[in-house]
Amino acid sequence: MKVGLFIPCYVDQFYPNVAIATLQLLEKHGCEVVFPLKQTCCGQPMANSGYEHLTGGCNENFIDNFDVPVDYIVCPSGSCLLHVKEHLHAETRHEAAKAIRGKLYELTEFLVDVLHVKNLKASFPHKVGVHQSCHGQRGLKISSMTELVAPYFSKPESLLNLVEGIELIELDRKDECCGFGGTFCVAEEAVSAKMGKDRIKDHLKHEAEFITGADMSCLMHLQGILKRQGSKVEVKHIAEILNAG
Amino acid sequence: MKLISCTRGERLKRTTMAAEHNNNALHNGTGLHSDLARKFNKDEDRVDWHDETLWWIRQKRDKITHGIPNWEALREAGSQIKHHTLSNLNEYLVQFEEQCQKNGVTVHWAADAQEHNEIVLSILKKHSVDKIVKSKSMLTEECHLNDYLQHNGVEVVDTDLGERIVQLAGEPPSHIVLPCIHWKKEEIGELFHQFMGTPKGNADPQFLTHAARLNLREKFLTRKIAMTGVNFAVAETGEMVVCTNEGNADMGAHLADVHIACMGMEKLIAKREHLGVFLRLLTRSATGQPITTYSSHFKKPREGQEMHVVIVDNGRSVQLGRESFRNSLKCIRCGACMNTCPVYRRSGGHSYHNAIAGPIGSILAPNLDMKKYADLPFASTLCGSCSNVCPVKIDIHDQLYKWRQEIVKNGYSPKTKTIAMKAMAFTLSSPTRYQIAGKAGRFVLKNMPFAVNNKFNPWYNEREMPAVPKESFTEWYKKNKGGK
């Protein structure tokens, strides 16, 4: 099975370890992974700011990178993936864009739905709080949502439960947004920071040692606040935990 | 259209925000959402209180909806009925008018807020009335009717308790269902002391409610004209259904010689049986109650009484013509999207500087004035919780995204933002430029952190910047995986 690795720009630049963990995790589970080297950004920051019409260049570049013979395209970020899934298009390359959109998987949904991972050789003996990133959860539906009357499930948590020694904590608010929101984090800085602080308070109240999630952007925001507070609690992308030990 | 969350006592207990905030910019319609939200956030304890109060209501909503196994099917039914009605609105409006006339109700059509206000005033003048009571109606808030009538020498008394409180305070409501949710009971005690002469320092909700009741009773008995909103207007029968928890709409309408009901034209439903869906959806979504205390049907004037209905467009037919946004007209004004919105809970209703706040207000307001409300669709993280709680399944967060595109295309985005976005798009559309920029950015952050970690960087205000890794993933991959 050949997998194209789609790494969001900010992960490439600031969190290479998350990308490395994702790559190793996929290889451990038997995937042949290729990383197209000329990736940049999915275009979401512009699009969510109202400038989707300026994302043509990013779309073209994305298609240049991923119009390659792979079975799946996997990304360790629900938000970037959702954007491409919903908005990737190109004037002259409809078919290529459509084919790419059909191959896209967020990392945890790929591990659960495609690879059917039932065992992990991973160990992480810590108390961990799971942050449900909204675009993965409500957009890609990788877990159930508290607003809906529907059976409970969580793809990220089902994977974390395979990790040896891990203790997942319960939160008071299981799926409240952290307040990152892309450019919202600076445009609405006061509310964004307050939302982040409130999420952290919930995790700290339940004695989390680590906060994990399937989207590094939310975790970057929470990490920024934790560091400012001088907290010992750290953030870890889910790929790093699933690949630990 | 009055409807409150809980018992009157509970409601008083759970109101927020200081009286000293009354006259600040939070409610006078100036400033951007982000600025008003920043002001609201200056008192963090108060933000916590506001957030928890509304979260408590969201939890009540969750609890009651999770007790109904077919809840999602009920939402779908509500959505489809509204879809059908909106798709055939022209026919149903005519049918409704015919039925009303058969019932002896006078029907008025208002193209906009101004015309609505003029119609109401003309009815008052005809009867030489300069004092009226009014139960809750978000439409009259949208039309700024109170200001208009007061300007024309008419005294309006809002009879919904929450509305009365904000009216005494000289504020607009901060929430469509819970107008004074931003007030604390102690502050209400002080307000009542000032306006109704209750003992200073008495903040007992039951006592204050009783005082308001006595005060309002006199108004009910002496006013000759009563206004109400309309929650649902049934086309096949011409009846108007008004949902309240306090019975104030009934008391006003039954005691007055003239009843004027005002409704947005999207309030129609085709059949009476559709109420079986909407009355189940409304309060469960709004406050977690199984049904409103009073769901009153007004159909015919009683002997000697006069009944009027004013059907208002005010931008609704324009919105109906906007394919991406027409679903917003399905809204039944339950306020669930506000209670669940993590931004609304932490920015307060007045930060939306519009009669209708929160996510639904943010998709309705730009239709009325795209320039004035250009900031509202951006007051969201697009988390999607609003769409999930909406009882008629409006795709609220998708519409927020679409409004952002419209606002930029129509030139209502700040120029500095456009320049920044163009620069960003230029950089990110080329792998070479992206890699150079990434390297430069990491270099600056590592070697000249002061260039980034300063007061000009809003991120840095309450957050540290990420640590700089020694290489990007692309660089690592080239080195370790021999990538070309």
Q: Among residues 340-379 of chain B, which lie with CB inside 8 Å of chain A?
A: 340, 342-343, 346-347, 377-379
Using the Cβ of B109 and the Cβ atoms of chain A, whether some distance falls under 8 Å is answered with no
Which among B37, B381, B442 has CB closest to A134? Answer: B381
**Best B417, B433, B462, B481 residue to mutate vs chain A (most A CBs within 10 Å):** B462
Same structural domain, A88 and A149: no
Say if residue A43 is in the same domain as residue A96.
yes
Q: For residues A219-240, b (16+ Cβ closer than 10 Å) or e, as one string? A: bbbbbbbbbbeeeebbbbbbbb
In one-letter notation, the amino acid at residue A37 is: L
For the segment A124-152, what is each residue's pLDDT rounded down to a tens digit? 999 999 999 999 999 999 999 999 999 99
Q: Is residue A97 located within the same domain as residue A134?
A: no
**Closest in A11, A149, A179 to B342, CB measured:** A179
> For residue A117, what are the contacts with CB-CB under 8 A and spacing of at least 6?
A29, A111, A159, A162
Is B473 a member of any domain? yes
- Kindly state the average pLDDT of the residues A214-230: 97
Task: Please judge whether B430 and A57 are an interchain contact, meaning their C-beta atoms are less than 8 angstroms apart.
Answer: yes
Of A82, A114, A146, the position where a domain reaches its end is A114
Decide if A201 is inside a domain: yes
Per-residue pLDDT tens for B232-291? Answer: 999 999 999 999 999 999 999 999 999 999 999 999 999 999 999 999 999 999 999 999
Query: Which residues on B lie below 8 Å from A187 (Cβ)?
Result: 34, 378, 458
Asked if A154 and A131 sit in the same domain, the reply is yes
How do beta strands B239-244 and B294-298 pair?
antiparallel
Cβ pairs bridging A and B (under 8 Å): 219
The boundaries of the domain holding residue B182 are 8-317
Which of B255, B286, B317 is where one domain is finished? B317
Say which CATH number the domain at B302 has.
Answer: 3.40.50.10420
Q: Mark A157-182 as b/e (b = at least 16 C-beta within 10 Å).
A: bebbeebeebebbebeebbbbbbbbb
Average pLDDT of the residues of chain B = 93
- Asked if residue B207 belongs to a domain, the reply is yes
DSSP conformational letter for B111? S
Q: Are residues A139 and A235 in the same domain?
A: yes
**Neighbouring C-beta atoms of residue B445, cutoff 10 Å:** 18
Residue A216 predicted with pLDDT over 90: yes
* pLDDT tens digits, one per residue of B314-369: 999 999 999 999 999 999 999 999 999 999 999 999 999 999 999 999 999 999 99
| A44 in any annotated domain | yes
Residues A36 and A81 occupy one common structural domain? yes
For chain A, how many structural domains are there in total? 2
For residues A161 and A205, state if they share a domain: yes
Asked if residue A236 and residue A135 are part of one domain, the reply reads yes
Task: Provide the pLDDT for residue B18.
Answer: 33
Q: Hey, what are B355's tokens?
A: 């009669």
Q: Report yes or no on A83 lying in a domain.
A: yes
- Residue A245: pLDDT band (50, 70, 90) is confident
- The answer to the question of residue B407 being in a domain is no
How many CA atoms does the CB half-sphere of A67 hold within 13 Å?
A: 15
Tell me how far apart the alpha carbons of residues B12 and A235 are, in angstroms, rounded to a whole number.
41
The predicted-structure confidence for B3-48, as pLDDT tens digits, reads as follows 333 443 443 343 333 333 333 333 444 689 999 999 999 999 999 9
Kindly state whether residue B288 falls inside one of the protein's structural domains: yes
At B116 the pLDDT is 98
| B452: Cβ contacts below 8 Å, ≥ 6 apart | B444, B445, B460, B465
So what's the pLDDT on residue B76? Answer: 98
A119 located within any domain: no
Tell whether B59 is within 8 A of chain A (Cβ): no
> At B125, which amino acid appears?
K
Domain boundary among A114, A142, A159: A114
| DSSP-based three-state secondary structure for B108 | strand
Please tell me the predicted confidence (pLDDT) of residue B30: 62
User: What tokens were used for B10?
Assistant: 């509970």
Domain count, chain B: 2
Q: Which of B256, B291, B317 is the last residue of a domain?
A: B317
Within-domain flag for A122: no
A89 and A68 belong to one structural domain: yes
Range(s) of the domain holding residue A83: 2-114
pLDDT on residue B484: 52
Q: What is the ipTM of this complex?
A: 0.97
Read off the pLDDT of residues B72-88 as tens digits, 9 standing for 90 and up.
Answer: 999 999 999 999 999 99
User: What does the pLDDT read at residue B22?
Assistant: 37
Answer yes or no: is B96 within a domain. yes
Q: Find out whether B195 and B168 touch, Cβ atoms under 8 Å.
A: yes
Query: Quick one: A165 and A235 in the same domain?
Result: yes
Checking if the pLDDT of B166 tops 80, the result is yes
H and E: helices and strands count for chain A: 13, 8
**Residue finishing a domain among B317, B346, B379:** B317
Does a structural domain hold residue B450?
Answer: yes
Number of neighbours of residue B166 by Cβ within 10 angstroms:
24
Same domain for A83 and A143?
no
Q: Which two tokens stand for residue B436?
A: 């150079």
Of A184, A195, A228, the CB nearest to B464: A228
Do B22 and B157 reside in the same domain of the chain? yes
Q: Span B209-218, mean pLDDT?
A: 94
Which residues have C-beta within 8 Å of that of residue B349, sequence separation ≥ 6?
Answer: B173, B174, B175, B181, B182, B338, B357, B358
